[in-house]
Amino acid sequence: MRKRHNLEPRMERCKDYLVTDPAARKGTWRQPGTGLWLEIGCGKGSFTCAVAEAKPDCSLVAIEKVPDAMILAMERASRAGLKNVCFLDYDAAGLREIFEPGELDGIYINFCDPWPKSRDAKFRLTAPAFLRIYADLLPVGGEIRFKTDNGPLFEWSVEQFLQEGWTLRELTRDLHAGGVTGILTDYERRFLGEGVPIKRLVAVRGENTLDHRAGEPPRLRNAALADARANQKEKQE
């Protein structure tokens, strides 16, 4: 991501949209009588702002760990005068610090980084450890809406969701086959222009979906062991 000029003064101008002490809001994010959705990795935020505009009865919390991208999303929200969206310079790994169990209605994950090497699988936002965090934050019936251009990541993610006890709905490997559908993200618009089929699913949290209380999944331990071995082998070569 290119370094943005004047990031600090630009952040300052959009400060009404930036939450700097998210842990203080734990348990109080929801406006009475409205829905509460989280977007992880909002990037430049055209999806974020379009969703906020389309759903005035919902509040949207958008997190992004690269402020140089997020500033564009914040400026977009400010230009549109949106009242139901806020932004956090935050990593998804810490979500349990800022939301109470069951506090969210749903989560958007769009075009997350694929981390193609198997030793990096734990960084994928659909890795079991992340799915367990999301399961903590959603009530039974709460949804994750996931889109990607990346076939291997999609197939791997389907497997993780199923193994972790999520129910999958609306699964498609070519979302726009019958014409452009739904609100596009910045990345999605680019991939669509290149003719790359977009994969999408909705994962629904059930009674038996695994959350962090289920402990570390054996697969993750095995993956960590495999990573350690691969690293060791690389060092030896």
Ligand X SMILES: C[S@@+](CC[C@H](N)C(=O)[O-])C[C@H]1O[C@@H](n2cnc3c(N)ncnc32)[C@H](O)[C@@H]1O
Identity of the residue, 69 or 158, whose beta carbon is nearer to ligand X in the bound complex: 69
Contacting ligand X (CB under 6 A), which of 22, 41, 128, 217? 41
Mark whether 113 is an active-site residue.
Answer: yes
Q: Which of 1, 2, 89, 8 is nearest to 42 (CA)?
A: 89
Number of residues in contact with ligand X, rule: CB under 6 A? Answer: 20
Query: What tokens does 178 get?
Result: 């019958």
Site for ligand X in 125-184 (CB under 6 A): none
Candidate segments 10-18, 108-116, 131-139, 195-203, binder of ligand X by CB under 6 A: 108-116
Crossing angle, helix 46-54 and helix 67-80, to 10 degrees? 30
CB 148 within 8 A of CB 40: no
Task: Indicate the helix (H) or strand (E) that contains 62.
Answer: strand 58-64
Identity of the residue, 73 or 140, whose beta carbon is nearer to ligand X in the bound complex: 73
Candidate segments 6-14, 76-84, 111-119, 155-163, binder of ligand X by CB under 6 A: 111-119
Residue 74 sits in the site that holds ligand X (CB under 6 A): no
Least Å distance between CB 207 and ligand X? 27
Least Å distance between CB 47 and ligand X? 6
Q: Which of 221, 224, 187 is nearest to 44 (CA)?
A: 187
Contacting ligand X (CB under 6 A), which of 51, 72, 112, 137? 112
- The alpha carbons of the chain give a radius of gyration, in whole angstroms, of 18
Least Å distance between CB 109 and ligand X? 8
Least Å distance between CB 156 and ligand X? 16
Give the Cα separation of 145 and 54 in Å (integer).
16
Query: Active site residue: 91, 113, 120, 174, which one?
Result: 113
Contacts of range 6-13, beta carbons closer than 8 Å, 24 or more positions apart: 7/67, 7/68, 7/71, 10/71, 10/75, 11/67, 11/71, 11/74, 13/75, 13/78
Catalog residues that contact ligand X under the rule CB under 6 A. 40-43, 63-66, 69, 91-93, 110-113, 185-188
Task: Give the residue numbers annotated as catalytic, written as ranges.
Answer: 113
